[in-house]
Amino acid sequence: MSDARRRPPSSTDVAALAGVSQKTVSRVLNGEPYVTEEVRERVLAAARELGYRRNTAARALHLGRFHRIGVVSIGSSLYGPSSLLVALERQARELGYAFAVAYTGEGAGLTNAVESLLAQGVDAIVVSDPIDDRIDDPIDGGQDLRIDPDVPVLSFRPVPGLDGPRVVVTGASGVDAGRQATEHLLGLGHATVWHVAGPHRWWAARDRARGWREALAAAGAPEQPALEGDWSPASGYAAGRVLAANPRVTAVFAANDDMAIGVLRALAEAGRAVPEEVSVVGMDDIPAAAYLSPPLTTIRQDFEAIARHGLALLAAEIERSPGGPALGDLPAHLVVRRSTAPPAK
Amino acid sequence: MSDARRRPPSSTDVAALAGVSQKTVSRVLNGEPYVTEEVRERVLAAARELGYRRNTAARALHLGRFHRIGVVSIGSSLYGPSSLLVALERQARELGYAFAVAYTGEGAGLTNAVESLLAQGVDAIVVSDPIDDRIDDPIDGGQDLRIDPDVPVLSFRPVPGLDGPRVVVTGASGVDAGRQATEHLLGLGHATVWHVAGPHRWWAARDRARGWREALAAAGAPEQPALEGDWSPASGYAAGRVLAANPRVTAVFAANDDMAIGVLRALAEAGRAVPEEVSVVGMDDIPAAAYLSPPLTTIRQDFEAIARHGLALLAAEIERSPGGPALGDLPAHLVVRRSTAPPAK
DNA sequence: ATGAAAGCGCTAACAT
DNA sequence: ATGTTAGCGCTTTCAT
């Protein structure tokens, strides 16, 4: 009976079935005025019967807008980036935007990811966890990120090399987080705080380290060279072994929880009790943080708020409407658990 | 000087600048034959000069294809789903497809996510971590998932209620993983194995539990009722307290590493040594697994292989080309660490 | 309150 | 080897 139709139904098909003009169908679908209630019903019924779905390609072609936001994220399952991605998607959908993702990593750099987003058509781009691409190229120090200046871009901290009239910056850089973690440890009475940093290429890692450094300076505490990890527990473990071997180390701030886990393990193996001998603070508040041995004191960010705030500004920029001022950093929250305590007397 | 052009350059603009017809531009851009090398150069130069980018909306409108794959994923930063997502994106890009994501969760069910994908225009849909929507609705037991039968759908295990001529199923259900974990413990000499399952609504959780049950049955080991968690360390901890209180428990298989972390903690608090008194196996091999106390024996899946295999089949279905047969489950791999040992004599 | 016609940027037939 | 024409499905003037 029913032959497999090759082409999905168009608004013309709906119009024919409803016995009206194609334009009237368009009116109904877009909720424009000047349509009789009776006609509107008839059109909607026809659309439902045919399983009609608006062709976004045609719509986008005409409007020159895609109603899609593209996100460049880091190709990994790290807790922070993943959580932010989820929050961004929810927010985008809420604002009526479709959501496209391009990951970086494994040779596919930022420029590549942006290019693939632009190629598919997006109204704006979010750069989620920028790394410093410019130190990639040993020859000329790499090159700046070139994004079509006509496409609005959102990032959560200023990205050197990423510039333009339609670049909007807001959110949570991590400086505040680094500062809070360090102040917490200093406040407990530790003479200074050691830092296991994220990879230097990540701006987020630099920000957290900067917060740490600023807090030390403000308190007049001696600054130690940071140990650099790669966000992984393995790298935290390596750093932890170094720290465990140094009897003067009593307080450590790891730039994420995963590395903190590695530090905890190294400390345990070296027989250095946490928090009795050494205090440890992580960052992210991964679900497992509360169930480690000991439960980890850490810093938590409100990704929902960050996404909401950022996309609201981005949407305003897309519409070229005023759009409130970009707030500075959204605050991070310290979650105190059992891995921190005053230093042994 | 340069006035802000509102409309991005079209192939007509390129043609004008290069002094050729618009069709010739199209030819060059699509690598079609019958273009002089000299003309080709001229066109490419013009395109570069104008910063021309092909308008995908127009292209999609004409072709009736979007060259985009949509993925429905679970709105969380759980390690498994996140890793699969990353792998799927890489694969999709490799195959020349743009990548759209819609998350489920928080009221936005599977149907909703699929709808939003279809609305934006995708050539196919991947259902990444399906849950049983049908028990959502207490009235009529929920309803089947309705997906336009003309859009190919890929899932990694059969999804009841999701049916149609263009549904392709392949990958790794988790049955094999559950079986391997259980056999490992049984092989060490444990009389039986307890199970901390994922939420029953997740098909993945049911599969892992089934593998566990099958392995027990095959070995003639007594089956215990599974304790159900929600993938979180907190839920694993709750289950772990129950298990720790039962002196007959000597071997536990947790359906993911996060829950295993909770179990480990509960055991530690109860003074039950791992692995001397109780062995624990997790699943996922999260990066932290090797750095827990003790390092966790777990099951690892090859998400890259799963994504590659699945998307290859999906691409074939999109092109309506034969496309090899759907293989069964891809094998999971046991990673033995220190959380498992033979039972105490 | 409704319809007709034009055009968005592209690709596919069909010339030349 | 290159150009002309038509048309994808939609929205937007402009008529009626």
Q: What is the pLDDT of residues B143-200, one digit of tens each?
A: 556 666 679 999 999 988 888 888 999 888 899 999 999 999 999 999 999 999 999 9
What Cα–Cα distance (Å) separates residue A311 from each residue in A126, A152, B163?
Answer: 9, 11, 36
Of the candidates B261, B246, B242, B248, which has an alpha carbon nearest to the alpha carbon of residue B339? B261
Specify the residue for token string 């000087």: B1
- The dihedral built from the CA positions of residue B194, A261, A263 and B267, taken in this order, carries a sign that is negative
The pLDDT, as a whole number, for residue B142 is 47
Q: Is there contact between B320 and strand D, defined as CB under 7 Å from any strand atom?
A: no
For A75, the 3-state DSSP assignment is coil
Of the candidates A259, A257, A314, which has an alpha carbon nearest to the alpha carbon of residue A126? A314
Q: What is the CA radius of gyration of chain A?
A: 26
Mean pLDDT of the region A236-243: 98
* Percentage, residues of chain A above pLDDT 90: 62
Q: Is there contact between A60 and strand D, defined as CB under 7 Å from any strand atom?
A: no
Q: How far does chain A reach from its first CA to its final CA, in angstroms?
A: 87
Bridge partners of residue B103, in order along the sequence? B73
Specify the residue for token string 């999971």: B332
- Residues of chain B in contact with residue A292, where contact means CB-CB under 8 angstroms, are 261, 265, 292
Distance from B98 to chain A by nearest Cα, in Å? 6
* Percentage, residues of chain A above pLDDT 70: 91
Are A288 and B106 within 8 A, CB to CB?
no
The protein residue nearest D11 (Cα–C1') is A62
Higher pLDDT, A181 or A132: A181
Q: Where residue B5 falls among pLDDT bands split at 50, 70, 90?
A: very low
- List the structure tokens of A19: 């016995």
Of the candidates A75, A91, A21, which has an alpha carbon nearest to the alpha carbon of residue A304? A91
Is the CATH code 3.40.50.2300 the one for domain A20-43+64-169? yes
**Candidate ranges A307-321, B58-72, B134-148, B283-297; pick with highest mean pLDDT:** B283-297
Distance from B187 to chain A by nearest Cα, in Å? 29
In this structure, are strands B333-335 and B298-300 parallel, antiparallel, or unpaired? antiparallel
Mean pLDDT of the region A311-323: 87
Q: Is there contact between A61 and strand C, defined as CB under 7 Å from any strand atom?
A: yes
Instruction: Count other Cβ atoms within 10 Å, centred on residue A22.
Output: 14
Higher pLDDT, B39 or A303: A303
For B269, residues 6+ apart whose C-beta sits below 8 A from its C-beta are B241, B244
Of the candidates B231, B330, B252, which has an alpha carbon nearest to the alpha carbon of residue B298? B252
Its pTM stands at: 0.93
For A98, the 3-state DSSP assignment is strand
What's the CATH fold of domain B174-301? Rossmann fold (3.40.50)
Q: How far apart are CA A69 and CA A122, in angstroms?
A: 5
* Lowest mean pLDDT across A92-106, A180-194, A239-253, B131-145: B131-145
Residue A153: phi, psi to the nearest 5? -130, 135
Bridge partners of residue A23, in order along the sequence? none
- Residues of chain B in contact with residue A150, where contact means CB-CB under 8 angstroms, are 8
The pLDDT, as a whole number, for residue A135 is 56
- List the structure tokens of A2: 């029913």
Higher pLDDT, A237 or A148: A237
The pLDDT, as a whole number, for residue A140 is 43
* Mean of pLDDT over chain B: 89
Q: How far apart are CA A185 and CA A189, in angstroms?
A: 7
Instruction: Count other Cβ atoms within 10 Å, centred on residue B44.
Output: 16
Q: Are A99 and A68 in contact (CB under 8 A)?
A: yes
The helix (H) or strand (E) run that includes residue A17 is helix A11-18
Instruction: Count other Cβ atoms within 10 Å, centred on residue A210.
Output: 15
Whether the pLDDT of residue A142 is over 50: the answer is: no
Q: How far apart are CA B182 and CA B187, in angstroms?
A: 8
The pLDDT, as a whole number, for residue A17 is 87
Instruction: Count other Cβ atoms within 10 Å, centred on residue B304.
Output: 15
Distance A64 CA to C2 C1' (A): 27
Whether the pLDDT of residue A144 is over 60: the answer is: no
Where along chain B do the CATH 3.40.50.2300 domains lie? 20-43+64-169, 174-301
- Residue burial B317-330, b: 16+ Cβ < 10 Å; e: rest: bbeeeeeeeeeebb
Q: How far apart are CA A121 and CA A209, in angstroms?
A: 36
For B298, residues 6+ apart whose C-beta sits below 8 A from its C-beta are B257, B260, B281, B282, B283, B284, B285, B286, B289, B334, B335, B337
The pLDDT, as a whole number, for residue B49 is 87
Higher pLDDT, A247 or A27: A247
Q: Where residue A42 falls among pLDDT bands split at 50, 70, 90?
A: confident
- List the structure tokens of B329: 């489950």
Distance of CA B15 to the CA centre of its chain: 44
Distance from B19 to chain A by nearest Cα, in Å? 25
* Lowest mean pLDDT across A143-157, A304-318, B239-253: A143-157
The pLDDT, as a whole number, for residue A5 is 42
Q: What is the pLDDT of residues A182-227, one digit of tens each?
A: 999 999 999 999 999 999 999 999 999 999 999 999 999 999 899 9
In this structure, are strands A298-300 and A333-335 parallel, antiparallel, or unpaired? antiparallel
What Cα–Cα distance (Å) separates residue A235 from each residue in A258, A263, A265, B293?
Answer: 9, 9, 11, 17
Name which of B82, B90, B233 is nearest A288 (Cβ-Cβ): B233
Higher pLDDT, A147 or A285: A285
- The dihedral built from the CA positions of residue B55, B59, B62 and B68, taken in this order, carries a sign that is negative
